[in-house]
Structure formats: C-alpha cells, structure tokens
A and B are shown apart, each in its own frame.
Chain A
C-alpha cells in the first residue's frame, strides 16, 4: 500500500525504533491491553480517499447547499468580511499554535488577545474583558453562573422574554444542571417590561438579570431605570448585545451594566452554519476575580521589555479545579484574532458606516413591505437598527416559501407568528427591491 502523507515513518525507521525499545512488533506495545478489547477486523469506515478525491467530494457536498441572499438575522448576521482577514488567521504561527502557556514563544497570540480584550472593552464600555468564550449563548450562561457566584446566597436569575430563543435555551440548560432557578420577565409594548422586572425583583432572591440591548423583534430597548432597579435589589445587570451595533447605540456600560456578553460573529465572521463564532464577556472591575475564561495581562520581562502573559490563572480550572467559576479551557482564540483584525480595519468609522448602511436598508425594506399591504406593523414607531418583525397577512411559512423559491432566505417565524427580516451592508438596493417585488406578487 502506498505511504500516507501524514506519517513520516519508513519501515526501516519503525524497525530501528522497535529494536531500541526492545520489542518485536508494534502490537507488543499494547500487550497491557486486555486482548478482548483489541479490535478485530476492519472498522466501518470508508476506504482512504486521496486528496483530489476529498477535494472533489467536499466540493460536491458544498454544491448541494443552497446559495441564498440572506435577509435574516436572529443571532447570525451576514456582514462583510474584509479580504485580509483569512490570510492573517491562516498564517501557520497563528493557526497551528497552542494555548500561550509558554509566553516567551507565544507573544503573537498573547498580544492579539490583549488587543481583543481592549477592543471589547472599548465597544462595551466595560472595565475588563476575557480572551473569549465559545459563543454568545454560552457567554450568557457563564454570566448567569457568575451572577450567582458574585451574590453568593441567591439562587434565581431572570431572563427577558425578548432574548433570542437559542440564547434562552442554552442559559436554561446550564441553569437546570447548576441548580439555578430561571424566572422570565415579559415583554410589553415592544420591549422588556420594567414594571414586570420590578415585580420579579421584589419577589426576592434574584442574583442577576439578563436583558437584550436589541431584542428578538429587532427593537432597540430603552433600559433607563433598569440598572437602578436591579442594583437596589442587590443583583447584577447583564446586557446581551451585538458588538457591531455598539458603535452606534448606547453601550452596556452606558446603561449601567455589571456584565456585558454577546457574540462577535457580527464582526465579520462568516455565517458558516453556526460556528465557529466567538463569545465575549466584559465586566466591571470589582468582578474581575469571578470572571471565567483566560485573561491576558501586560507586564515586563527580566530585561524590562514589555511582555504579555496569561494572568489571574488562579481563577481557572487547572488550578481551582472544582472551585473554579467555570470549566472553560479552550476558547475561540483564532476567532478572537479574526474579529480583532476586523475591528482594526474597520475602526470606529467603518463600524458606523456598516450600521448606517444596515439601518437605512432595513428601514427602507420595512417601509416598502408595509406599502405592499401584505403586512401589519406590530410595533409601530419602535426604534430598530438592522432587524424588524412584521405580522403577515398569510401564514408565515408561505411568505418564507415564496421568498425561498426566488433564492431569498428571509421571513423567519417568531413564536407570535411574526416574520423577521434583516438587512446588512451586504445587501444591495436591487436585491432589496427584488425581495419586495416577490412579496407583492406572492
């Protein structure tokens, strides 16, 4: 059989190594494994494919997926990816590096993480950020655990019903096994209800409250009074946010949040069927030691040069073990690099422009769709950015179908029977007009 490109050993080399060890054959190195566990016969795997065959096969599978114009969001956004980014992230020294425990030869990784932390703090306004978490929903779950750890004897965390369903599902899963009671705060008049929140807080035992800056209807929530109410009840306020939008809307810090979490996917990471994305967390200084995840800090080396290291490791699983605030080990480092390069290229102006294009596009689409007469506006006059929902005259599934047949992915259904749309800077006016026409004719 031909050799395999990832195995350098020749037969002669194998023989020489076996001789040095003092065994006759490789199987002897498994002599301590009970014979009944050594697999007999072939594994139920296909035959080895050559590289050209793997390429052809995967290209075939990729072609089986639909290529759609994406006019939907709901937690994953089709924003523009600058051409530079994949070239940087695929550099060997970034791609194939391990976690930067040996800081002398990992200054590249440590420095981009420090930049990532700094930028997350700029966008969220928070004091401290970590080196990333898996995604937005798990970041929210970590925030949920953190609020309980910070308030010690409390056992309840409140979730706004305005949060996206996949965020709620993950937080509830974690809460169930962590012994935390989840309460829900209803939406009224298009956003999380402050009155309902106050009532839940008054019932007591609340460690934290998680609310969305922009809710699942696309509406930008006004959280005036929320931080005061939550703090009066000695609980922590967690703002779930889309970092791209923070360039133009009030930041979690400006709302008085204790913790800010979300998903950095909107910062130029391709949709990629859901992952890898990158979760982030920013916290107020006083919660630094309860924050999960790796953290990079600046220091000097023995010659006085600026150097970066993983720091505050005593919080983490490899030291605190069962007393750690989280079990997280690997995070999404390379995706943190991805969004750091994105933010470096875009800067504050680029992000403002992304939001302006998305904002104008979404407002245009909404107006045009309403003009067709085929929808009602369930939230007239409510402020939104790039996403909005409408109440369709016919079944949501039918609206979605008509659009799908024409190559548009849009009109995602909410539990209320609304359909949601999203416009980003990737969508042209022509495409948007096309979408409207299809709806008109449908």
Chain B
C-alpha cells in the first residue's frame, strides 16, 4: 500500500469546477430576503473532475477490503459481496423511486419486500419481518421496543429488566438503555455458555425478556437453549435473538424453532451485502405470530429502511435458493473448526470442543517474554498479520478473555487461503517465541504505523479547518 497523504481540500483552487449543470431556462425569481441568506460562504473544495477521481482512487488504495484478502473478523461475517447484488441494486427502475410513491406505482419494489418477508421467515422460523431498521444495533433497539410494547399492551408496566449474558456484544446493553430497559447480566460458565443455575434466581415478573445470541459470542452453541427459553417464557418473558451469529445456522437450525420470539438479522453480515467501510447495513426484525400487533407503530427510520441493501440481500437469497442455503452454515462451521484444530498448538484455546462459525483464542501460548522484554500481545499479533497481507481477526472481544483473538473464516474462503493464514499464524507465533519485538514493531509495510491514539483522544482534531 502506497502512502498517499492528500486531503481533497488540498487539491482546491479557486475557480475550478467538478460539476456540469444545464443552463437556467427559468425566469429569474426575486432574491431571497437578506435576513434568510447565508452570511459566510461554506469553504468546500473547488476541484476538477479528474483530480477528484484520482484523489479518491488513491485513497482507496490505502484500504483493505474483502476483495483484497482474507478478513477473519469474528462476529462480522466478512463473506464475499456478490456483484450481481450491486448490478440489480443500481437498476434505474429501483433507484428512481420516490419513497412516498404509493403501492400502484411501486409494485416491483413491494414485491421485493413481500418476498423477503417470506424468505426470511422461512430461514428463521419467525412469522413476519419489519425492514425499517438500518443496522444490527438499530434492529436490536427495534426488537426491544417490540418487547416493551408487548408488555405495555398487556397492561404490565413492571417489566423493566432485560437479561443479557456477560459475554454479550456492547450494542446489547446500549440498545437496552436507549429503549428504557435495565440490563441484568447473567454469568457464563467456564465453558463459555450461560450458567442456567445463575439465571434462575434472576427471573421474576420484573423481567421483560432475555437477549442472547446462539451460538454465543465465543462461537459456542448454547446447548441448554431449550431450558433457557422455557425458564424465561415460564415467568412471562420474551426471548430475543441477536442475529449477528446467524451464519452457522443458515440452512440447519431456525431461531424460531429454538423458542425465540423476536430477532434481528444483519443483512450486511449473513446476507452478503457489503460492509462499505461501516455501513449502510440493514437489520430487519422478525417476530413470532403473537407479536405481530406490536410492529405497526414502531417507526424507527424515515421511510422503508435501506431498500438498496434489502435488494442486494434479495438477489443473494435468490442465488442461494433452498439447495445452497445449508452449505452456508456447514462450510462456515467446517472452516472455523479446521483453523481451530490447526492453530491450537500455538495459541491458547480456553474452551475445548466443537465450535460453530467462529472461536476465540486467548493469546499466544508462548509470548516470548524474557528479561526486560514484554511478551507479545494479541494487538502485536494483529499488527504483524498486516505485514503478511491478512486483516487481523477481532481482538479484545469478548471481554471474558484478556488476550481474546476471535476468528471467523466464513464459507467463501478457499482452503488455500485458510492454509496460508494458518501458516502465517504459526510463523508469527514462532517469531514471538524467539523475539517478541518483531511483532511489537509491526506493521512494517503499512502506509502508517501505530498512530498515536492517545494524542488523538486528548487533543481531538476532528475537521480539516482545525488542523490548519
């Protein structure tokens, strides 16, 4: 990757234009009153079209995408983003639709929503979906709103708590707080699963429900799920499924069948829509039949959700069809277990046994600490991987393990790529054992190295004007 240091403001010269607009054929209307006019001109760049193209092209070459190489980020499901999805999402018959056009004018678009409702219900075992949420966390919030609405409809206002495993992703408690619910954490056992005995005393009629993912954030299937859902249902609570870990269940297990009443899906994870550097995503929320009445009043986005993203997922499901759905789950689980078995001789595997689509290591077995030299940490391993052309796995999550390294290969990676990754991980472990400083100095080949994040947080410079 070549270091390209310009910002678009630095390419600006007064008088340059990058746009082309038709001449004004309307009569000139009287000017706006002075008191409503903008006082100072906005300082936006003036750049020609070729320079804009070159600038963003060069910027892109300092980025790493799934198309560039392996991205084993646990809990992100970085699978291949098919280009047929892109093609259909750009069709003018879809992109030209104003969101307030009525059903008679948008039959094709509405058919997409209807089909997606059917498909997602079939895949998950839930009854009906809303497509308004624009991301997973947005879906979680919406799903928790359904949970609260359900109890409000029953006239039960004392249900103010939601139970969440201590291994849960940060969005879970944050979504609960935004939704006005109090989080109660339930402990995990040493094998990483929810401690059902610890759960029992937490269950009473102030609990609205429980939020969990299965497999959990360690990639382990919650084997006692049936007992858990029965316990929660038994006190009148609802079960919420965080669909971030849906990939291994595709074509094999349905959350609805396991007793979940509400769930969200991440279309930008499980359903192959691109991550885009951090969005746009889509987080449709599915509910069991008895909760369908809770959906209509929940307006969580302006119009109909991220239609362009939903279209991409639609094309993906049509390509998969019933025949290929199961392989998504199976291949993702196969690849994850394979990597785990191959690398557990060099990295600490805190929990033995079969995993699903992802698993967690707790740092190096031999971190090479000696004399005054600190041992290599998970961060160091992550940075050294960059030198070999691999994106790092997820690091320092879940919080249960201090040197957590969470690896999720997905089903679209070939065995060659996986074997190459395994080889590099072994090499890095050997380097650490010999001299951890090789890792601590990494990355060596990246355009920038170990930026000063402390300074960035202490003295934030958050716009170009402040840096001048």
Q: A109-B278, A300-B452 are known contacts. Are A114 and B7 too (CB-CB below 8 A)?
A: yes
Contact A32 B106 (CB under 8 A): no
Contact B307 A364 (CB under 8 A): no
Q: Which residues of A contact B253 (CB under 8 A)?
A: 30, 33, 37-39
Contact A70 B26 (CB under 8 A): no
B134 part of interface (Cβ distance < 8 Å)? yes
Q: Which residues of A contact B104 (CB under 8 A)?
A: 66
Contact B412 A7 (CB under 8 A): yes
A61 part of interface (Cβ distance < 8 Å)? yes
B201 part of interface (Cβ distance < 8 Å)? no
A296 part of interface (Cβ distance < 8 Å)? yes
Contact B324 A347 (CB under 8 A): no
Query: Which residues of B from 103 to 134 have beta carbons under 8 Å from A?
Result: 104-109, 111-112, 118-119, 122-123, 134
Contact B411 A170 (CB under 8 A): no
Contact B456 A297 (CB under 8 A): yes
Of B22, B27, B174, which is within 8 A of A321 by CB? B174
B373 part of interface (Cβ distance < 8 Å)? no
CA distance A222 to B104 in the complex (A): 39
A440 part of interface (Cβ distance < 8 Å)? no
CA distance A169 to B449 in the complex (A): 46
Contact A276 B447 (CB under 8 A): no
Contact B386 A105 (CB under 8 A): yes
| Closest chain B CB from A224 CB (angstroms) | 7
Q: Which residues of B contact A8 (CB under 8 A)?
A: 412-415
A153 part of interface (Cβ distance < 8 Å)? no
| Closest chain B CB from A85 CB (angstroms) | 9
> Which single residue of chain A is at the shortest CB-CB distance from B467?
A298
Contact A29 B173 (CB under 8 A): no
CA distance A82 to B297 in the complex (A): 37
CA distance A343 to B52 in the complex (A): 10
Of B84, B137, B145, which is within 8 A of A329 by CB? B137
> Which single residue of chain A is at the shortest CB-CB distance from B302?
A137
Contact B257 A58 (CB under 8 A): no
Query: Using an 8 Å CB-CB cutoff, how does the interface string of B179-192 with A read, 1 for contact, 0 for none?
Result: 11001000000000
| Closest chain B CB from A15 CB (angstroms) | 11
CA distance A399 to B169 in the complex (A): 52
Query: Using an 8 Å CB-CB cutoff, how does the interface string of A316-358 with B read, 1 for contact, 0 for none?
Result: 1111111110111111111101001101111111110110110
Q: A250-B39, A275-B306, A321-B170 are known contacts. Are A97 and B27 too (CB-CB below 8 A)?
A: no
| Closest chain B CB from A334 CB (angstroms) | 3
CA distance A65 to B107 in the complex (A): 6
Contact B91 A62 (CB under 8 A): yes
Contact B18 A82 (CB under 8 A): yes
Q: Which residues of A contact B29 (CB under 8 A)?
A: 359-360, 363-364
Interface size class of B (residues with CB under 8 A): 35 or more
| Closest chain A CB from B51 CB (angstroms) | 9
> Which single residue of chain A is at the shortest CB-CB distance from B181?
A177
Q: A72-B98, A298-B467 are known contacts. Are A94 and B21 too (CB-CB below 8 A)?
A: no
> Which single residue of chain B is at the shortest CB-CB distance from A142?
B178
Q: Which residues of B contact A93 (CB under 8 A)?
A: 60-61, 63-65, 67-68
Contact A63 B108 (CB under 8 A): yes
CA distance A40 to B332 in the complex (A): 20
Q: Which residues of A contact B159 (CB under 8 A)?
A: none
Q: A115-B7, A324-B170, A334-B279 are known contacts. Are A107 and B63 too (CB-CB below 8 A)?
A: yes
CA distance A86 to B338 in the complex (A): 39
CA distance A324 to B270 in the complex (A): 26
Q: Which residues of A contact B25 (CB under 8 A)?
A: 428-429
| Closest chain B CB from A25 CB (angstroms) | 10
Contact B391 A105 (CB under 8 A): yes
Stretch touching chain B among A197-205, A231-239, A304-312: A304-312
B153 part of interface (Cβ distance < 8 Å)? no
B235 part of interface (Cβ distance < 8 Å)? no
Contact B392 A102 (CB under 8 A): yes
Contact B306 A276 (CB under 8 A): yes
B446 part of interface (Cβ distance < 8 Å)? yes
Contact A63 B93 (CB under 8 A): yes
Q: Which residues of B contact A29 (CB under 8 A)?
A: 330, 333-334, 337, 354, 356
Q: Which residues of A contact B73 (CB under 8 A)?
A: 98
Contact A59 B91 (CB under 8 A): yes
Of B19, B60, B100, which is within 8 A of A345 by CB? B19
Contact B33 A307 (CB under 8 A): no
Contact B297 A173 (CB under 8 A): yes
Contact B306 A21 (CB under 8 A): no
Q: Which residues of B contact A46 (CB under 8 A)?
A: 318, 321-322
B252 part of interface (Cβ distance < 8 Å)? yes
B171 part of interface (Cβ distance < 8 Å)? yes
| Closest chain A CB from B370 CB (angstroms) | 24
| Closest chain B CB from A167 CB (angstroms) | 7
Query: Using an 8 Å CB-CB cutoff, how does the interface string of B63-106 with A read, 1 for contact, 0 for none?
Result: 11111100101001011111010111011111111111100111
Q: Which residues of B contact A275 (CB under 8 A)?
A: 99, 134, 280, 301-309
Q: Which residues of A contact B324 (CB under 8 A)?
A: 4, 7, 48
Query: Using an 8 Å CB-CB cutoff, how does the interface string of A6-24 with B read, 1 for contact, 0 for none?
Result: 1111000110111011100
Q: Which residues of A contact B119 (CB under 8 A)?
A: 45
| Closest chain B CB from A273 CB (angstroms) | 4
Contact B391 A102 (CB under 8 A): yes
Contact B100 A76 (CB under 8 A): yes
Q: A65-B93, A273-B106 are known contacts. Are A344 and B415 too (CB-CB below 8 A)?
A: no
CA distance A324 to B179 in the complex (A): 12
CA distance A85 to B22 in the complex (A): 19
Q: A248-B32, A350-B21 are known contacts. Are A62 and B65 too (CB-CB below 8 A)?
A: no
Contact B92 A119 (CB under 8 A): no
CA distance A121 to B27 in the complex (A): 33
Stretch touching chain B among A122-130, A154-162, A181-189, A371-379: A122-130
A78 part of interface (Cβ distance < 8 Å)? yes
| Closest chain B CB from A118 CB (angstroms) | 4
Of A66, A76, A135, A299, which is within 8 A of B301 by CB? A135
Contact A14 B275 (CB under 8 A): no
Q: Which of A17, A47, A330 has the most CB of B within 10 A?
A: A330
Contact B96 A270 (CB under 8 A): yes
Q: A178-B178, A321-B173, A409-B98 are known contacts. Are A330 and B136 too (CB-CB below 8 A)?
A: yes
CA distance A381 to B254 in the complex (A): 61
Contact A274 B170 (CB under 8 A): no
Q: A55-B88, A276-B306 are known contacts. Are A357 and B26 too (CB-CB below 8 A)?
A: yes
| Closest chain A CB from B307 CB (angstroms) | 4
Contact A34 B36 (CB under 8 A): no
Of A78, A248, A278, A337, which is within 8 A of B277 by CB? A337
Contact B63 A26 (CB under 8 A): no
CA distance A55 to B318 in the complex (A): 10
> Which single residue of chain B is at the shortest CB-CB distance from A328?
B137
CA distance A13 to B323 in the complex (A): 20
Contact B278 A100 (CB under 8 A): yes
| 18 pairs, A vs B, C-beta closer than 8 Å | A6-B272, A21-B334, A26-B334, A30-B221, A38-B253, A45-B320, A45-B325, A65-B97, A109-B277, A129-B463, A167-B302, A174-B300, A298-B462, A298-B467, A320-B170, A331-B135, A340-B8, A383-B33
Given A97-B276, A297-B461, list of 20 further CB < 8 A pairs? A17-B335, A17-B337, A62-B88, A66-B105, A88-B56, A97-B66, A111-B7, A114-B7, A118-B9, A131-B278, A173-B299, A174-B300, A249-B37, A272-B94, A308-B451, A311-B460, A319-B170, A330-B137, A332-B276, A359-B29
